[in-house]
Amino acid sequence: MLRAAGIVPLVQVSAVDEDAVARAQGPFAPPAEVVCALAAAKAHDVAETMAADPALRGHLDDAVLIGCDSMLHIGDRLEGKPGTVEAARARWQAMRGAEGELITGHAVLRIRQGRVVDQALGHRGTVVRFGDPSPADLEAYLATGEPLRVAGAFTLDGLGGWFVDGVDGDPSSVIGISLPLTRTLLERVGVTVAELWSARD
């Protein structure tokens, strides 16, 4: 999505234990706080990992680092990646024909000479209206493995898009990174989108 929007990112996967970070927020934490805490933990983990790696350290001389996390809030539950076919099947049996809110949290770190000099956190919520896939279609979808590794056990821009009837809000946040939210957070740390366009080459 960022490439299509004019930015060529360096992608680094964090080693954060997402379940542990979510549990640390406590059972009554608002969903937005949970996803923002996860996004911040991922961003800081990647910053530390890159700073410790001589091959990557140079990227942090003058950089913006964006951490993202999404979870589906449905039926008073906050759902992340299901991980197993059984969990994904159970999620879809509860979601079919229903609505949920995909809550996306972003953390933007402004880094100079390897140090975080500023940061901004924020979240977006987008209502997702789920379709009612046939049992055969659902089993075929589960067999692809796609729903096991994504928040809420579905995608909008992949195979799961066949089973989403609509969204109310920011579709980019459902796909993975909210462009409007990211623009706002970048502005808070003193960076414009146009600067990142000009730096892409």
Enumerate the active-site residues. Answer: 69
DSSP state of 83: -
Give the C-alpha distances (Å, rounded to integers) separating 135 from 96, 138, 170. 11, 5, 29
Distance CA(161)–CA(144), nearest Å, equals 14
CB atoms closer than 10 angstroms to residue 73: 20
Give the C-alpha distances (Å, rounded to integers) separating 58 from 63, 92, 111, 192. 10, 44, 11, 22
Q: Which two tokens stand for residue 100?
A: 């949920």
CA 199 to chain centre: 24
Distance CA(174)–CA(104), nearest Å, equals 8
Q: Which amino acid is at 168?
A: D
